[in-house]
């Protein structure tokens, strides 16, 4: 990604989706959008939304799906996208570049399936170990 591209401080992935939807319908009310097969449709008005199965719809996954849809399913075209004016452009890989390098041992905690209910494990170099004191 080009390091010269800046992300507006207030442009979260959710806000980027809402902004993109406003631009798509030429400044109108995103809630009135009728393009139901658009990957961004569930999050067009901002806020948290849940899918049919009750899971939270993740904005970065929606953006990735939208970019793939825009580029006719080509990962290479998404990578080489030149539309830097698009509100979704900085998030097109399905990651938030503002969070690059953040995280640590807590970020590596994943729900434990092998060591029992309610415990966590740390994934380190492909080796799964139970956390201390659990």
pLDDT one-digit tens code per residue, 19-68: 888 888 887 777 788 888 888 888 877 677 887 788 888 899 999 999 99
- List CB contacts of 109: < 8 A, sequence separation 6 or more: 120, 121, 122, 131
Of the pLDDT bands very low, low, confident and very high (cuts 50, 70, 90), residue 7 is low
| Average pLDDT of the segment spanning 63-75 | 92
Residue 117 · residue 124 · CB < 8 Å: no
pTM for the full predicted model: 0.64
For 112, the token pair is 């434990």
Residue 89 · residue 66 · CB < 8 Å: no
For 119, the token pair is 């415990």
């Amino acid at each position: 990604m080009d390091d010269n591209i800046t992300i507006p401080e207030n442009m979260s992935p959710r806000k980027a989706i809402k902004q993109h939807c406003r631009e798509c319908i030429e400044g109108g009310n995103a809630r009135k959008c009728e393009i139901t097969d658009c990957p961004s449709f569930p999050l067009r008005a901002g806020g948290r939304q849940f899918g049919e199965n009750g899971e939270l719809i993740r904005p970065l996954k929606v953006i990735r799906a939208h970019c793939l849809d825009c580029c006719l399913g080509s990962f290479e075209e998404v990578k080489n996208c030149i539309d830097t004016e698009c509100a979704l452009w900085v998030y097109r890989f399905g990651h938030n570049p503002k969070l690059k390098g953040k995280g640590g041992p807590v970020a590596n905690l994943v729900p434990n399936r092998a060591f029992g209910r309610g415990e966590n494990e740390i994934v380190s170099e492909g080796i799964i170990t139970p956390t201390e004191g659990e």
